[in-house]
Amino acid sequence: KYEGIIFDLDGVICHTDYYHYLAWKELADKMGIYFDEEINNRLRGISRMESFEIILERYQGEALSYEDKVKYTEEKNEIYKKLLYKMTPNDVSSDVVETLHALRNLGLKLAIGSSSKNTKLILKQIGLENFFDAISDGNNITKSKPDPEVFQKAAEYLGILPEHCLVVEDAVSGVEAALSGNMDCAGIGEAAKSSRITYRLSKFSDLMDFIQ
């Protein structure tokens, strides 16, 4: 049924979602803004600046210019990258690695579809920089999830029609992106709570049940 699978990165392949939380938390604390893991869930899949705008909903300080916002998001990214540099291939579970290889052995094409501009760095850290057949990320899109662009580009890079692709997502914004791009969507983590998903995964390897 499917010819290709497009994986979200953060929250699906590895748990950089926790590092995003830690980095935003450090910045928010410094700026005196309340921030918790529930607010962090709203940042899944959306761009860095859109994430900051959500955090700023609780900001009560002086008005910030666009330049100030860029400076703060860059500061967050530096904190985040320091955490990324500590990642190793051990930060990918054996469930994920074994399933990826099993899917490839079935002849499926595998791609990454991530909003992150740090995708290549993360894949390098976890030893998967040469694994995927295509990478579509925050550097090749103009609109982030829930817009389908990142997944449409991934399908195009794979040379597969959207209706023959399955997307695997942890974010509600990513589920919407996949569905509006005419792709089925398997939800894991936060996205597993969505009623809109095509398949519900309680662990990554559950994918094998829906592929064959």
CB atoms closer than 10 angstroms to residue 101? 12
Helix/strand/coil (H/E/C) assignment for every residue in 116-134 = CCCHHHHHHHCCCCCCCCE
φ, ψ (nearest 5 deg) of residue 26: -60, -45
Is 36 annotated as a binding-site member? no
Q: Is 68 part of the annotated catalytic residue set?
A: no
140 binds ligand B16 (CB under 6 A): no
Residue holding tokens 């499917």?
2
Sole binder of ligand B16 in the list 15, 69, 104, 117 (CB under 6 A): 117
10 binds Mg ion (CB under 5 A): yes
Structure tokens at 2: 């499917």
Residue type, 108: L
Taking the C-alpha atoms of residue 153 and residue 165, their distance in angstroms, rounded to an integer, is 12
Minimum CB separation of residue 20 from ligand B16 in Å reads 5
Taking the C-alpha atoms of residue 82 and residue 96, their distance in angstroms, rounded to an integer, is 24
Q: Is 95 part of the annotated catalytic residue set?
A: no
Residue 203: strand, helix, or coil: coil
Kind and range of the H or E run holding 7: strand 4-7
175 binds Mg ion (CB under 5 A): no
125 binds ligand B16 (CB under 6 A): no
Sole binder of Mg ion in the list 4, 7, 11, 118 (CB under 5 A): 11
Sole binder of ligand B16 in the list 11, 146, 148, 181 (CB under 6 A): 11
Q: Count interface residues toward Mg ion (CB under 5 A).
A: 5
Over its C-alpha atoms, the chain yields an Rg (Å, rounded) of 17
Q: Count interface residues toward ligand B16 (CB under 6 A).
A: 20
14 binds ligand B16 (CB under 6 A): no
* Residue 20 binding result from Mg ion, ligand B16, none, given CB thresholds of 5 to 8 Å by partner type: ligand B16
Is 45 annotated as a binding-site member? yes
- Residues identified as active-site: 8, 10
Q: Which residues bind Mg ion (CB under 5 A)?
A: 8, 10-11, 170-171
Q: Which residues bind ligand B16 (CB under 6 A)?
A: 8-11, 20, 43-48, 51, 77, 114-118, 138, 171
